[in-house]
Amino acid sequence: MAAPGRNGRLETGIPRVAMVRGTIPEHELATVYEPMINLILQGGKSMTVGEQTFDYDPATYFVMSVELPAVGVIRSDAAGAPYMAVALTLVPSILAELIAGLPPGCAQNGGNAFSVAAVTPELLDAWTRMLGLMAHPEDIAALAPAYEREILYRVLQGPHGSMLRAIAAPDSAMARLAAAIAWIRRDFNLPLRVEALADRAAMSVSAFHRHFKATTSLSPVQYQKRIRLMHARTLMVAKGSSVAAAAYDVGYESATQFSREYARLFGMAPLRDAARMLAHMRNI
């Protein structure tokens, strides 16, 4: 069902369901990812968040429960067939409505907001029915909500269940951290006030730091820095911004500091990195 799609990201016409196929520009794989369930159909992918890297393939699926800056690397399969994957964007209100009709479960999640688990036949069956709607768009409005609920239900039954319950519970630490993360994302070019974020999350500063790092594998300052650097990279590659203009647009006061931190994250100076990616994109 996915094979006829064009290369790149494709909106399927099904709400919150997107498909990715083939080669993706490097700067688009180093970005802030939305909360999602990601299922690989062909090939493989590595996802790095902070200092942690997860590898997954068609035998596994990936869940991210909050918005996180991450670096992805995709691979063709052993026979050289192109990478293909589908993703369902997570919406806490839909999860909360589903969970309300299920037996009570633990809504606490003391670990990361991202992980990999083995695919089950039941989860694959639900995805197959969902993707089958691409060939029958007239059925999407009636059937897609039911298939979405089934996909979510199957994930709730698995090792990611507590993670999904945590983001759907408005008073959970995960949900409060998600609200703080949304604030950082929205105003990433402004000075970061950790005390204000902790207050928004109804935590002490030390507890906020501890929960934030456990959830995202990054400190709040590191999280903001990753967002700034990834956004600057996109400005230089997609919009042709100069190094200095990109640095100031994302909130840096010093282009020198920006270049130093950019090289530390991406492995080379910003101008050289942007030129390398542009040359690669012209050859795709």
Q: Enter the DSSP assignment of 13.
A: S
Residue 180, in any domain of the structure: no
CB half-sphere exposure, 68, CA atoms < 13 A: 27
Q: How many domains, the chain? A: 2
Is the domain of 138 the same as that of 256? Answer: no
Final residue of a structural domain among 168, 192, 212: 168
Is the domain of 150 the same as that of 240? Answer: no
What residues form DSSP beta bridges with 39? 61, 86
Q: In what order do the strands lie in the sheet with 114-118?
A: 8-11, 17-21, 84-89, 36-42, 60-64, 114-118
Residue 156, in any domain of the structure: yes
Question: The domain that contains 233 carries what CATH number?
Answer: 1.10.10.60
Residue 208, in any domain of the structure: no
Residue 42, in any domain of the structure: yes
**Per-residue pLDDT for 108 more than 60?**
no
Residue 243 sits in which domain range?
Answer: 222-283
Q: Dig out the tokens for 15 from the structure.
A: 């709400």
Is the domain of 161 the same as that of 238? Answer: no
Segment (H or E) for 46: strand 44-49
CB 39 within 8 A of CB 101: no
Is the domain of 158 the same as that of 238? Answer: no
Output the pLDDT for position 106: 52
Among 52, 43, 44, smallest CA distance to 71 is for: 52
CA distance 171 to 147: 28
Confidence of residue 249 (pLDDT cuts 50, 70, 90): very high
3-class secondary structure for 66-121? CCEEEEEEEECCCCCCCCEEEEEECCHHHHHHHHHCCCCCCCCCCCCCEEEEECCH
Look up tokens 């959830």; give the residue. Answer: 215
Is the domain of 159 the same as that of 278? Answer: no
CB half-sphere exposure, 259, CA atoms < 13 A: 11
Q: Dig out the tokens for 16 from the structure.
A: 């919150």
Output the pLDDT for position 262: 96
Residue 210, in any domain of the structure: no
Q: Which amino acid, 281?
A: M
Please, what is the average pLDDT of the chain? 90
Dihedral of CA 82/69/9/130: which sign?
positive
**Per-residue pLDDT for 99 more than 80?**
yes
User: Percentage of the chain with pLDDT > 90?
Assistant: 61
Output the pLDDT for position 113: 83
Q: What is the mean pLDDT of residues 148-171?
A: 89
Is the domain of 151 the same as that of 40? Answer: yes
Question: The domain that contains 154 carries what CATH number?
Answer: 2.60.120.280
User: Percentage of the chain with pLDDT > 70?
Assistant: 96
Neighbours of 141 (CB within 10 A): 10
189 vs 282: which has the higher pLDDT? 189
**Per-residue pLDDT for 57 more than 70?**
yes
Q: Enter the DSSP assignment of 6.
A: P
